[in-house]
Structure 1
């Protein structure tokens, strides 16, 4: 303890406490420096990961383009210049084509949003709405070819972001859920429109339930087939029995493509029916609401993947 004279008075200074305070301050500074260093390292690693992903994507694009030029990929006719591999890496080909579709879709949505905000007349706005609807026709054609090329890839939804996959049903959105989302954002509907939307939602729900039950029955049939007593050559059965069981399983799997086609047909028809029920301005707003919802799911996926991991 030290005595100090200040303004004629004697005060005491406890050096041990002062030293203790200095040590705590130094520890906090050291901890802050260490936290900042780790944060910089995480940020650097994240940037490197993004750069690595970008380079990998560029490489995949070059490989795909080279393969197409060499004739490895057989391009199926699809308006708008889209193509899809029916041999080789069909999943990669679809993912690339879908990414191009999504970019064009965003451009059309931006045009529609600008037109709606600038209070375009119904005739001009109708052209923009029809362009978006026609573009949805394109993605359903693209998906139809994708299902034929690789039904499992389409069912898994790996061409979507994680948050989008969380809400997927048979390779896409649920029509009934789409109608629920739109119902909270549209202008006041007439009684006739309200009845039309309610009937469409009810019929969509019934169709979804039927398809879901069919998928459950298909999955159970595959489980029963693949878990049969004489499944493999090492069991009590022989190779012929094994091949017979696998042939049965393959024939059942062919039904999977039909379920995916039916689900996309339901989605497509729901969009078209919705368009017919609503006015041009309501349809424009509905398309924006649906697009914004999917954009937020993609943004949520990006935030989730970029979250700090301690």
Structure 2
């Protein structure tokens, strides 16, 4: 048998050690370790960038929130300042509030006088509503509640009278709702609220439910009739004005007379706007009165609170919208 060669007796451990000591393998180990460190470094850089971006986004969010809060505070201060100025003006007698002189004051600047009167009306209305809310929360008796409810109902009558006087001076101002906030104007119907919208009330007895349903149906029918009348008036007025444009192209005496006649017709049609506003306010007033007759005193109190809260939220919505951050 042939003797085993010394080379074949080389230990496996020696072979492994030699392989590890070979220059090529050592270089591979160094490259692999460097690649791992590079990946770790890149991962750390991405994490740091994300963290920096998150911090910057949070900082900007805090700044926007701070600016928004500051705008709300500025709006509140401006509103308070305006109310104080109005109060000082009333104390100095700049605006005449007595019913005897109201029509006279309207002739000078009807819109300004009505806006001032409405601001005063709203201030008193809010005070009465707070009084009613306190009585309801304190579970006051029907006699006390009835007294406050009647006071608020009478106060509603006052604003309808004021609107009637204002319409005689400037019906466009009243119908357009420029005396209200922008959000309120979005839901305006003929210078005020839709009567049928008042009748979404709490659970009622069967008899009350029947009465409210009938009242809601009659209110909607009256609203539709008035709305259709306004549309017909606007269409008729547009046709009259379009005809006057066609007749004003020539300077002849006949055309001038025709133009003046058509403009006189347009003015006559505009005069019916005041009548539409008066009918709409009468419908609002009658709906409130009928609602009070159908409901109990406590139910009427809660209904008036709901109506007031709805209007208050619309006014608050206008303030928040105007004070929002504008990016």
TM-score over 0.5 (shorter chain): yes
Aligned to 1:269: 286
1:214 aligned to 2:229?
yes
Aligned to 1:171: 191
Q: For residues 134-149 of structure 1, what are the structure 2 equivalents within 5 Å?
A: 134-149=154-169
Aligned to 1:279: 296
Distance apart, 1:265 and its partner CA? 0.5
C-alpha change, 1:37 and 1:244, in structure 2 (3 Å) is same
* Structure ranking higher in helix proportion: 2
Confirm or deny: 8 A CA contact 1:64 1:93 kept in the other structure: no
Report SS of the residue matched to 2:271. helix
Confirm or deny: 8 A CA contact 2:184 2:314 kept in the other structure: yes
Q: Deviations over 1:131-176 (max 9, x none)?
A: 1111111111111111111100111011112222121110111111
Between the two proteins, the alignment pairs up a number of residues equal to 290
Aligned to 1:301: 318
Confirm or deny: 8 A CA contact 1:157 1:171 kept in the other structure: yes
Aligned to 1:94: 114
Q: Deviations over 1:181-200 (max 9, x none)?
A: 22xx2x42242x23322222
Q: 1:153 aligns with which of 161, 173, 198?
A: 173
d(CA) in 1 for partners of 2:188, 2:79: 25
Aligned to 2:99: 77
Report SS of the residue matched to 1:129. helix
Aligned to 2:143: 123
C-alpha change, 1:39 and 1:303, in structure 2 (3 Å) is closer
Q: 1:189 aligns with which of 202, 205, 210?
A: 205
| Structure 1: gaps (5+ residues) | 4-10
d(CA) in 2 for partners of 1:45, 1:122: 44
Moved more, 196-205 or 40-49: 40-49
C-alpha change, 1:161 and 1:287, in structure 2 (3 Å) is same
Q: Deviations over 1:14-58 (max 9, x none)?
A: 555545554554455456555655665666666666666766776
Report SS of the residue matched to 1:88. helix
Is the radius of gyration larger for structure 1 or structure 2? Answer: 2
d(CA) in 2 for partners of 1:208, 1:214: 10
Moved more, 225-234 or 253-262: 225-234
Distance apart, 1:228 and its partner CA? 0.4
Asked which structure has the greater RCO (Cα within 8 Å, sep 6+), the reply is: 2
1:109 aligned to 2:129?
yes
Confirm or deny: 8 A CA contact 1:197 1:277 kept in the other structure: yes
Q: TM-score, normalised by structure 2?
A: 0.76
| Structure 2: gaps (5+ residues) | 1-29, 31-35
